[in-house]
Amino acid sequence: MVGISASDYLQLLDWTGRQVHPHKRGTLSGPPPRALQRMGHDAAHWPRQVLAVGSEFHRAVGAAEYLIAKAAAMGQRWLHGINAARLLLPAGR
């Protein structure tokens, strides 16, 4: 979470948990946390992206073009999760 404050990170974490587990005690009204927009993520897709970590993404999470670049930097041809990234993250994110 480079580029966001600890406070913004905690707000994002709490909001995300309430999206993934909507019956969690307490509610958050209003717009998604500012950090989500600053990181270039869509609030509608964010919970699915989070749930995909560990099952569809392993070493890295991000848009397909970033995962391809990361694989090349690591001397690999691909990383697990590129296909998931193509489905979950719009190009340029």
Residues 30-55: tens digit of each pLDDT: 688 888 888 778 888 887 777 777 77
Residues 64 and 34 in one domain: no
Domain match, 32 and 64 both: no
Burial (Cβ within 10 Å: 0-12, 13-18, ≥19) of residue 14: middle
Number of domains the chain contains: 2
Q: Note whether 5 and 35 are same-domain residues.
A: yes
Model pLDDT for residues 1-33, shown as the tens digit of each residue: 457 788 888 888 888 877 776 666 665 566 888
Decide: 31 and 49 in contact? Cβ < 8 Å.
no
Q: Are residues 26 and 60 in the same domain?
A: no
Residues 6+ apart with CB under 8 A from 69: none
pLDDT value at 93 more than 50: no
Element (H, E) at 49: helix 46-52
- What range does the domain containing 74 cover? 53-93
Q: What pTM was estimated for this model as a whole?
A: 0.56
Among the ranges given (24-28, 43-47, 75-79, 82-86), the one the predictor scored with the smallest mean pLDDT: 24-28
